Amino acid sequence: MHKRINIIFYSLFVIYLILGIILSINTGVSHDELHEQTTWQVNLKAIKSFFVDNNGYEELLVYKDRYFGIAFHLLTQPIQFLTYEFVSEINKMSDSDAYLVSRHISFFTIFTISGIFFYKLCLKISNNSNFSLFSSSIYLLYPYLFGHALMNTKDIPVLSFWLICSYLSLSIFENYLIKEKFDIKKIILLSFLTSFLVSIRLVGALIFIQYFISLFIILDIKKINLLQFLTKNLKILSLFISLFFLFLYSLNPILWKNPLELINGFLWFSKYKIAVCTLTLGECIDSLNITYKYYFIWLFFKLPILILFGFLLFPFVEKKLFTDNKTKLYYSTFLITTLSILLLLILMRVAIYDELRHIMFLIPLIFIISLYNFFKFNKKLFYIISSIVIFIFVTESFKLNPYQYTWLNNFARYTNIQKNFELDYWGISSKNLQQTILKISNEKNIDTSVCIYGDMYNGAYLRENGFNCFKSYSSIDEPVDRPYFAYQNTRNLKRSDPKDCSLIHVEKYNYFLINQDLVMGEIWYCD
């Protein structure tokens, strides 16, 4: 039976991966992608100059995002190189634009791989393959994560490698629980993967909190003194820490001339300040003035109701949860880690924005906790509700595509979503808006010499079709030559509309069985 379930899971897994890759290369370019490509180019220039001269390296030293390493770029760049021509042909776009879009393949692939580790973690906790299959399906089909997996350049890789590191670290601790010794090969691998995670984004260093929590749970179970443990395993711990810093040094060119830049990097991260407004229950919440309410509002409206309900079941199933030490290790690690990191971020008043994007790595942990609670509460009810949720997720993902990342649960849908919540803050609608401009210009024989006022990617889907004048929407208040097209995505709609222009298209969608039009963007023609 277990083998049959595995066959079903991995068969669906392959289908899911292929379909997701197809959708990803047909998804518009997010606002961060060009900047992320620039980060790679600046680091690459620094690497080359490190062995030749200092000119390129000096550029890295003053670069805004110099503390982001090259780890994930080492995976994306070969895939981009191999696929960008195909993407260019499919999307009818320039090679440079296609090079950005081809990164999407890497994002969705690593997210799909994370689903395997989610499945394995569920199996570790429950020892039930049916539960693991249903739970991992909910995780992979959850529209919010699915949508981000199509184009999110940083948060999806962090989430994915956090899950991979979680599985490997807990496997190491589980082995110690049984044999009271560590697997050196796994320790070496974990040190590398942890450095990989931290290199993607410094926030990944928070996983050390999870490692310490797992350690203290092991000490509690084994009734071992911390000092005794450290004395006995000093060599292993020293090996892990040494290799971690060695790998991190290799993956972050900013450290090559001065390893102490790592300290500056963590100080920069802890004091990172950027003023961004996130529309939250109708209020513009500044990232510099975040309170605990921000986290709980977005968790309440973004997480599936099944997950919210499951999390609240903890008091009713507590006695059923810790049936053995292995379950106690895995479950307690995820629960305490989630609560600890949320508390830490709240107390430190860390500047976050774009709803839950910056704490996305906690969502899989919350999912595992909640789903297991529900499973222990009532197995039959869990399977029935999970089947319904999976069906709804699949239906809504197709209906919302490519705006799955804007998904909100049914609690939010009883409000005026447009007025209360952030929607297409990453400008994914730019693709459909640009293609609509192309269609209208062909139908009305509008000369392609007209200028397009939009975001930084306003030429990605028009450049290969004769348009060559692209300007930022922010310059539209200056005197401009008519005629011209102008478009904005949802976040930018807070700006004033262009004067004396005709609104010619509204990009919108609505949820399954909920008739509430949600505007993603608008196009004007200024004749």
Residue at 407 is within a domain: no
Judge contact between 473 and 485, C-beta under 8 A: no
Mean pLDDT across the stretch 368-379?
96
Structure-derived torsion over alpha carbons of residues 476, 455, 517, 293, reported in degrees to the nearest 10 = -110
Strands (E), 224-352: 277-280, 283-286
What 3-state DSSP class applies to 506? strand
Residue at 406 is within a domain: no
Strand partners, 487: 523
Question: Which amino acid is residue 471, in one-letter code?
Answer: K
Where residue 343 falls among pLDDT bands split at 50, 70, 90?
Answer: very high
Bond preceding residue 253 cis, omega within 30 of 0: no
Mark whether 395 and 464 lie in a shared domain: no
Mark whether 318 and 440 lie in a shared domain: no
Strand partners, 524: 486, 503
Q: What is the pLDDT of residue 495?
A: 79
Residue at 181 is within a domain: yes
The total number of structural domains in the chain stands at: 2
Q: What is the pLDDT of residue 116?
A: 94
Mark whether 212 and 359 lie in a shared domain: yes
Residue at 348 is within a domain: yes
Q: What is the pLDDT of residue 272?
A: 67
| Residue 289: count of CB within 10 angstroms of its CB | 10
Q: What is the pLDDT of residue 54?
A: 63
Nearest C-alpha neighbor of 287 from the set 353, 345, 346: 353
Nearest C-alpha neighbor of 41 from the set 83, 76, 18, 70: 70
What 3-state DSSP class applies to 490? coil
Question: What φ, ψ does residue 86 adopt, rounded to 5°?
Answer: -65, -45
Residue at 210 is within a domain: yes
Mark whether 69 and 178 lie in a shared domain: yes
Q: Encoding tokens for residue 77? A: 């760049």
Last residue of a domain, one of 378, 400, 422: 400
Q: What is the pLDDT of residue 350?
A: 86
Mark whether 88 and 219 lie in a shared domain: yes
Burial code (b: 16+ CB inside 10 Å, e: under 16) for 1-37 equals: eeeebeeebeeebeebbeebbebbbbbbbbbbbbebb
The CA distance from 381 to 389, in Å, is 12
CA angle 262, 167, 226 (to 5 degrees): 70
Residue at 127 is within a domain: yes
Q: Classify residue 281 as left (phi > 0), alpha (psi -120 to 50) or beta.
A: left
The CA distance from 205 to 162, in Å, is 10
Mark whether 392 and 445 lie in a shared domain: no
pLDDT in tens, 2-42: 667 677 777 888 899 999 999 999 999 888 888 889 999 99
Residue at 100 is within a domain: yes
Whole-number mean pLDDT of the chain?
Answer: 91
Q: What is the pLDDT of residue 180?
A: 84
Mark whether 449 and 494 lie in a shared domain: yes
Q: What is the DSSP letter of 487?
A: E
Mark whether 456 and 363 lie in a shared domain: no
Burial code (b: 16+ CB inside 10 Å, e: under 16) for 301-312 equals: bbbbebbbebbe
Is the pLDDT at 344 greater than 80? The verdict is yes
pLDDT in tens, 242-291: 999 999 999 999 999 888 888 888 877 766 677 888 999 999 898 888 88
Q: What is the pLDDT of residue 270?
A: 65
| Residue 110: count of CB within 10 angstroms of its CB | 20
For the chain, what percent of residues have pLDDT higher than 90? 68
Mark whether 390 and 454 lie in a shared domain: no
pLDDT in tens, 305-336: 999 999 999 999 988 888 889 999 999 999 99
Q: What is the pLDDT of residue 336?
A: 97
Last residue of a domain, one of 400, 420, 445: 400
Mark whether 395 and 442 lie in a shared domain: no
Where residue 71 falls among pLDDT bands split at 50, 70, 90?
Answer: very high
Where residue 395 falls among pLDDT bands split at 50, 70, 90?
Answer: very high
Mark whether 82 and 225 lie in a shared domain: yes
Is the pLDDT at 78 greater than 90? The verdict is yes
Instruction: Label residue 186 exposed, middle or buried (CB < 10 Å: 0-12, 13-18, 19+).
Output: middle
Mark whether 387 and 435 lie in a shared domain: no
Residue at 515 is within a domain: yes
Q: Classify residue 285 as left (phi > 0), alpha (psi -120 to 50) or beta.
A: beta
Last residue of a domain, one of 357, 380, 400: 400
Nearest C-alpha neighbor of 429 from the set 336, 518, 312: 518
The CA distance from 34 to 82, in Å, is 19
Mean pLDDT across the stretch 385-412?
94
Beta strand 484-489 with 277-280: parallel, antiparallel or unpaired?
unpaired
Q: Encoding tokens for residue 449? A: 């010499």
Where residue 486 falls among pLDDT bands split at 50, 70, 90?
Answer: very high
Full residue range of the structural domain in which residue 67 is found: 2-400
Q: What is the DSSP letter of 257?
A: S
Nearest C-alpha neighbor of 454 from the set 436, 439, 445, 443: 436
pLDDT in tens, 165-214: 999 999 999 999 988 889 999 999 999 999 999 999 999 999 999 999 99
The CA distance from 424 to 149, in Å, is 15
